[in-house]
Structure formats: C-alpha cells, structure tokens
A and B are shown apart, each in its own frame.
Chain A
Amino acid sequence: MVEIRMRVNGVMEALDLEPRVSLLDALREHLGLTGTKKGCDQGACGACTVLVDGERINSCLALAVQYDGREITTIEGVGDGERAHPLQSAFVRHDGFQCGYCTSGQICSAIGMLAEHGSGAPSAVTEHLSADTIELSDAEIRERMSGNLCRCGAYNGIVGAIREAASGEAGRDVMEAVR
C-alpha cells in the first residue's frame, strides 16, 4: 500500500492505496465522488476527464499514486455550491446532453480546453501555428473536444454551449472560473 495526499476540489484527502488503483477508481470508490464516470476505462471515450493542476487528463489511465501532492478538480468541484458554472448553465440551455453520462467529462474537458486555448496553444486544425491568437471557431472547438465522445450524439449542443460560454459576458465568467 502507498500513502498519498491529494487536494480534491479544495479539500486535502489522505489515501492509503494499492498502486494499481486508478485515479478514477480512487475518486469514485475511495472518495465517493461518483460524478466522474467510467466509460471505456482505456482512454478512448473521455468520460473520466478530470483536471489536475488545471490540466485535463483521462483519470482512467492515471495511477492514483502518480498524483500524490497534486490538485484535482472533478465535476463536484465545478461551480459554486448550488450556483452552476457558466458552462454547466450553457449545456442546459443548448441541450448539450441527452443521457448525461458523458457530461461531467465534457464539462471538465471544456474547462481545460478553454484554459489551453486561452494560453495560446494551437490545435491540429489551427492554420498558422505561430499565430499569437487563435480564433475559437466551431472547427477548433470540435477538434479540441474530440477526446470526449457522446454516444447520444449531442455534439451540436455541446459545441453551441461551449461557443456561447466562451464568448460574451458568460465567456468572461468562464475565463475567470478557469483561472
């Protein structure tokens, strides 16, 4: 067993884990944070996406022991208590889901994505890699979110929600929230 400490959604947690426990299972089974979903358990679907020190990763392929001392944010840590995060509200307005199983991963992923875009990181569809600012077009959103599958096919709503949340007043709230 290995003792680790992680700050999860702002709370310091101490865990005594077998090294083969994934970060996903540590969150769900050991800390009771079942908002993060297990889809494929092999890094293909993105349902398990969480933020580590603000960066999105697939928690199913992460051994929890590797994340000793890190800061983890799950869907339970998104938003402010009963007040939804602007991205969550936008997903509701745009029907960005049907069954909802992929949604927590989609939202954590979108938060990480907006931070990456905000830092100037390019994507595979970025035309000029050396550009200082990259417009967040629908094509950019789709490419940057391609690691999150939705079997209900709510992609148009998901893209619409992210587009809205990333622009205008809501966008400023989102950018504040991801900072």
Chain B
Amino acid sequence: MKAFSYVSATDVAAALRAISTEPNAKFLGGGTNLVDLMREEIEQPDTIIDITRLPLSGIEELPGGGVRIGAMVRNSHLAAHRLIRTRYPMLSQAVLTGASAQLRNMATVGGNLLQRTRCLYFYDGAAACNKREPGRGCDAIGGFTRNHAILGASEACVATHPSDMCVALAALDATVVAESVRGVRRIPMTEFHVLPGETPDIETTLAADELVTAVELPDLPVAATSAYRKVRDRASYAFALVSVAAALETSGGAVSAVRLALGGVAAKPWRAYQAEQVLLGAPATDETFERAADAELAPAVAQSQNAFKIELARRAIVATLRRLLTEGSAA
C-alpha cells in the first residue's frame, strides 16, 4: 500500500471542504473495498478522508411515507431495521445475501453504492484493463467470463457491478442524495451508475468532490410484497451469477403493480423496464412472466463462457415472480 495522509472529518461541511481542496483525495467508509484496492495499489490516493464519524447513521421515516437512510448506516443495520424488513423486504434480503456478516458490519450504504467491480482482470495488475488503465485493452474479453456482463457491455469492458443492495435500490426507485461545496443534488438510483461505453473508468454520475449523504426510498406499497433471489456458485458468501429483485401486486388475476431489477448481468444494477412493461396489466401467469423475461433479455449478448447466464436470468425472473405470486413476500 502506498503511503497517504489521513484526515478524519467530523461534520459534512469539513468533509466537503477537504475533498475540494486536497488533491487526489478519497473518502473512506467501512474500507471493505477501498482498503483492499489500496493494498493492491489499484487505488493510490494521497489523502484519505475518513467519513465514518459523520452524523449520517440514521434511518428515519420521511413525511411523505418514504424512508431516508443515512450514507454511513452499516449494511447490517440497514438489513435488520424494522422499517426495511417490513416495507421493503427485498432490500433487507439483498443486503443479507451480500458479502459476510463481518463485512456487512463494516460496510456503509454510501460505500456499497461506490464499490468497484470484482472482475479479476481489474484486480490483476498484469492484465490489460480499460477500467484500471484507460486505453490499455480488456483481457476479460475472450478470457474467463463466467461472472461477466450479458447486458449493456461494450468492446471496452464487460465487467459487472458486484452490489446486491444496489439492485434492490434500482427496483425500488430510490434516490441518492449527494452534497458538495456547490450544494445538494438528488440522483435517481437508475441514473447513478453508468454503462461502460468507451469510458469504463467512469462508473457513476457522482462528481469527484461530491459526497453521498443519504439514500431515500419512496413510499411504495408494492414493495411490501417483494423478494430478492440470488443465484451463485456457493450457497453463501459469493457474488451473484444472476440476481433478481422483484415486487409484485395483482388484482383480479392481473399484474397491478410491479418492480423488477437484475444483478450480476451488467456494469450497473439493471432495472428491467422492458419486462415491467410486458407485466403491467397482463394476467399474472407463468406465460406472462416468461414473455416479460424474454423481452428484457432479447438484447442480451453472451461472452465466451457465460451464455448460460441468459437462460439462468430468464429462469430466475420467472421463478422469483412465481414465488411472489404463490407464496407472497419474504416479510
């Protein structure tokens, strides 16, 4: 690990001042990703601004019925919170399927949003990676691609976003609240992460001097009937091959409300708008669920070793919706 100077910020204003004045500085939350990347010298900040002491650790109801989650809330505390477990069970489940209990006790909500890909070529300094070194090429393409993208990839990058939490947040129409010395900005979760295109080193729409201070969940009754299903190579403590965050409400046998997002398939949590369009108003049957999955996955393109993920995603979507229909919510 390269040497760096360390600053601990005790209020948001001080953190924002520090990030706007210190060159090559980074905010540090729980450290579960950044410390690892610094040890591998993939990240080499000159200054670390520790933000874990900022007063952003609350989860509270919003006047309009939504919920505000402070950016420094630990992943484990988010998953265990009553409001989340009962009103947004897919979010609790998503967080609980991510990492290990120890890591969830450290990792913050803000840090989870900003974690970087687990593509092995990104971690391997000897490999070509456009995300790590723009213009260098991509050794993942044609390499070991079991964990790589099937949607929204480019010729420059086929990495996936590793978060489970973010998949649920995308399905729930969450909003990311970001602050800088210039003021407060609200970013829809579905616009927070970006697809790689020609610039896979750019992963979010957050500016370098902006601090995520909160995530807000809207009042969303359909979310009470929701679930997160993760398919992976081990039963626990592994990244998703494919995951599905789904919320479903039916009325008179037809889908009256639905939210659907996929994980493990793209460089961003993949909100399945195409599938939602097929589902809404249609009979709540396997046939509809299959049609919806097909619509979403029509543009899917496999890499050399992950063609199975297209069919896996299709089955996971159908199975998750079917279970919500027949067994109801995880809550």
Question: What is the interface of chain A, defined by CB distance below 8 A to chain B?
Answer: 2, 18-20, 22, 41-43, 46, 49, 55-58, 61-63, 65-66, 68, 109, 112-113, 116, 119-124, 126-130, 142-148
Partner among A58, A126, A127 whose Cβ is within 8 Å of the Cβ of B102 = A58
A122 touches B96 (CB 8 A): yes
Secondary structure type dominating chain A contacts: loop
Contacts of A55 in B (CB 8 A): 76, 105
* Min C-beta distance of A19 to chain B, whole Å: 4
Q: Does B3 count as interface, using CB distance less than 8 angstroms?
A: yes
Contacts of A146 in B (CB 8 A): 100-101, 235-237
Report whether B102 and A109 are in contact in the complex, using a CB–CB cutoff of 8 Å.
Answer: yes
Q: Given the complex, which residues of A lie within 8 Å of B105, measured CB to CB?
A: 55-57, 112
CA A4 to CA B256, docked complex, whole Å? 56
- The smallest C-beta distance from A56 to any residue of chain B, in angstroms, reads 5
- Across the interface, do A123 and B106 meet the contact criterion of CB distance under 8 Å? no
Residues of A within 8 A of B167 (CB): none
Query: Taking CB as reference atom, which chain A residue is nearest B237?
Result: A146
Question: In the bound complex, do residue A2 and residue B6 qualify as a contact, i.e. CB atoms below 8 Å apart?
Answer: yes
Instruction: Say whether B80 faces chain A, with CB atoms less than 8 Å apart.
Output: yes
**CB-based contact B103/A147 at 8 Å:** yes
**Contact code string B206-230 (vs A, CB < 8 Å = 1, else 0):** 0000000000000000000000000
Are B101 and A109 in contact, with the CB atoms below 8 A?
yes
Would you call A147 and B237 a contact (CB within 8 A)? yes
Name which residue of chain B comes closest to A121, CB basis.
B80
Rounded to whole angstroms, the CA-CA distance of A63 and B52 in the bound complex is 12
Q: Does B32 touch A at the CB level, under 8 Å?
A: yes
Contact B52 A129 (CB under 8 A): no
Contact A65 B50, beta carbon cutoff 8 Å: yes
- 5 closest Cβ pairs, A-B complex: A147-B100, A19-B6, A146-B236, A121-B80, A124-B96
Q: Mark B72-85, 1 if CB is under 8 A from A, else 0.
A: 00001001101001
Q: Are A56 and B48 in contact (CB under 8 A)?
A: no
Please give, as numbers and ranges, the residues of chain A lying within 8 Å of B184 by CB-CB distance. none
26 CB-based A-B contacts, threshold 8 Å: A2-B6, A20-B4, A22-B35, A43-B32, A46-B102, A49-B102, A55-B76, A56-B101, A57-B102, A58-B103, A58-B106, A61-B35, A61-B103, A63-B6, A63-B31, A109-B102, A112-B102, A124-B97, A124-B236, A128-B330, A130-B89, A144-B101, A146-B101, A146-B236, A147-B101, A147-B102
Residues facing A in B47-81 (CB within 8 A) are: 48, 50, 52, 76, 79-80
B residues near A (Cβ < 8 Å) are 1, 3-6, 8, 28, 30-32, 35-36, 38-39, 48, 50, 52, 76, 79-80, 82, 85-86, 89, 92-93, 96-97, 99-103, 105-106, 235-237, 330-331
A57 x B106 contact (CB < 8 A)? yes
Residues of A with C-beta under 8 A to B86: 129-130
Report B-chain residues with C-beta under 8 Å of the C-beta of A126. 96
Distance (whole angstroms) from the CB of B122 to the closest CB of chain A:
14
* CB of A71 to closest CB in B, whole Å: 14
B6 contacts A43, CB within 8 Å? no
Q: Which of B1, B92, B106, B235 contacts A122 (CB 8 A)?
A: B92
Residues of B contacting A2 in the complex (Cβ-Cβ under 8 angstroms):
6
Q: Are the C-beta atoms of A61 and B92 separated by less than 8 Å?
A: no
Q: How far is the CB of B271 from chain A (nearest CB, A)?
A: 23
Given contacts A2-B6, A43-B36, A128-B331, contact A20 B1 (CB under 8 A): yes
- Report the bound CA distance from A126 to B103 in whole Å: 19
Set of chain B residues within 8 Å of A49, measured between Cβ atoms: 102
> Given A58-B100, A65-B50, A120-B80, list of 20 further CB < 8 A pairs?
A18-B3, A19-B4, A55-B76, A56-B101, A56-B102, A58-B106, A63-B48, A63-B50, A65-B8, A66-B50, A109-B102, A112-B102, A112-B105, A113-B101, A121-B79, A124-B93, A127-B330, A129-B93, A143-B235, A148-B100
Across the interface, do B4 and A123 meet the contact criterion of CB distance under 8 Å? no
Q: Please indicate the chain A residues that have their CB under 8 angstroms from the CB of B101 in the complex.
A: 56, 109, 112-113, 116, 123, 144-147
Specify the chain B residue showing the minimal Cβ separation from A149.
Answer: B237
Q: Provide the bound-state CA to CA distance between A75 and B105, in Å.
A: 19
Nearest-CB distance from A152 to chain B (Å)?
18
